[in-house]
Amino acid sequence: MVDRRDFLKSLAALGGLGLSGAWGRAVAEALAADALPALRGDLTVYLGRGEGGLYKRIVEAIRERSPELALEIRRGSSSGLANTLVAEARHGGARADLFWSIDASSLGHVADEGLARPVPARLHEPLPEAFRLEAFVPISGRVRSIAYNPGRVRAEALPERIMELPDTDLKVGWAPSYGACQSFLTAMRLLEGEAATREWLRAIREQSRAYAGELGAVMAAAQGEVDLALANHYYTLRLKQGQPDIPLELAFTRGDAGALINTAGAALLSDSAVAADFVRYLHSREVQRFLAEQAYEIPLVEGVEPPAGAPAIARLEPPELDLTRLGDLQPTLALMREAGVL
């Protein structure tokens, strides 16, 4: 484990970034933290969750490095803060310069309301082409996966397409009330259409068991309550880090909602140069490495290894989908209620 002193020390290191491969090449190398200017001035950041306090440690490190930065952080759920920003905008203006969220759906919701400023080109430079969005800046990847128990199901028995899952007799664990699952279903609705998604939901209801969160679903797969769990990749990696012999493996579908790469990201809400420079720190090699090693998220810059057990992002086959569209959540919730899974 990396303690806070080690992380602060690592922010003083020099290095370079970039990205090549199937996802495209960065137009310029990103800078390591020591090559970035210390931040000065006022900055208000709304921080949606933050992986059990890990994002807070990043904030503390940036604060220590930038003593002239007057940084105010408001923390809450990603969806809750997105709704707060929308409400504030309707009553006199958003009160934050930056919205840093763990999920593209909340960022997309803020963008849909016209609150996000266009992303400056320099913030695109360290990112692969697929993640150069106009509405917000992706920070790290969160991959949909199938966490399966190899004692209950063979890898070759898993479907290559998520829409084929109801055609199997596999027992599924999932967390339909969980935000990441709802983003996955929104992607399915956008890619496959409402009718196909409705049919999938009704079918999967008959062979699934619902859990309060995706960690619980993954643990259920390991314990043999279900054959597999639908969840973001990092829950499996975290469990295996603490229990290397736990009966869990990861599989990924191809080119569909089951292979969605969602992202944590940041939306610029004002023209503050400090906010844009804050995002540059989040793309630094040191912060990306910290997110990979401690949160098991997928780094989006070259030169940083993915977490142990996770595939390199260039090897994945996600669908072609504008992540900002994941903010269109209400039709998904209506479908889920109609199908009886919510």
Question: Do 133 and 267 fall within a single domain?
Answer: yes
Q: How many domains does the chain have?
A: 2
Structure tokens at 14: 């020099």
Question: Do 168 and 248 fall within a single domain?
Answer: yes
Structure tokens at 106: 């909340």
Q: Which long-range contacts (CB under 8 A, 24 or more apart) does 217-220 make?
A: 217/147, 217/173, 217/174, 217/175, 218/147, 218/173, 218/248, 220/173
Is there a domain that residue 324 lies in? no
* Cα separation, 158 vs 221, whole angstroms: 14
pLDDT of residue 305: 85
Question: Do 120 and 22 fall within a single domain?
Answer: yes
CA distances from 62 to 33, 34, 136, 207, 294 (A): 9, 11, 21, 47, 17
Structure tokens at 64: 């220590």
Kindly indicate the confidence band of residue 316, based on its pLDDT and cuts at 50, 70 and 90. confident
Is there a domain that residue 237 lies in? yes
Is there a domain that residue 317 lies in? no
Question: Do 134 and 162 fall within a single domain?
Answer: no
Question: Do 133 and 160 fall within a single domain?
Answer: no
At residue 33, what are phi and psi to the nearest 5 degrees? -60, -40
What digits encode the pLDDT tens for the residues 169-184? 999 999 999 999 999 9
Is there a domain that residue 319 lies in? no
Helices (H), 98-178: 104-112, 121-124
Task: Please state, as a whole number, how many other Cβ atoms lie within 10 Å of the Cβ of residue 221.
Answer: 30
Domain hosting residue 175, numbered range:
142-259+329-339
Kindly indicate the confidence band of residue 29, based on its pLDDT and cuts at 50, 70 and 90. low
Is there a domain that residue 315 lies in? no
Question: Do 77 and 106 fall within a single domain?
Answer: yes
CATH number at residue 102: 3.40.190.10
pLDDT of residue 67: 94
Is there a domain that residue 316 lies in? no
pLDDT of residue 180: 92
Question: Do 215 and 335 fall within a single domain?
Answer: yes
What digits encode the pLDDT tens for the residues 180-237? 999 999 999 999 999 999 999 999 999 999 999 999 999 999 999 999 999 999 999 9
Question: Do 133 and 147 fall within a single domain?
Answer: no
Is there a domain that residue 314 lies in? no
Question: Do 54 and 191 fall within a single domain?
Answer: no
Question: Do 190 and 120 fall within a single domain?
Answer: no
Is there a domain that residue 79 lies in? yes
What pTM was estimated for this model as a whole? 0.87
Lowest mean pLDDT among 10-14, 77-81, 143-147, 309-313: 10-14
Question: Do 185 and 266 fall within a single domain?
Answer: no
Question: Do 151 and 167 fall within a single domain?
Answer: yes
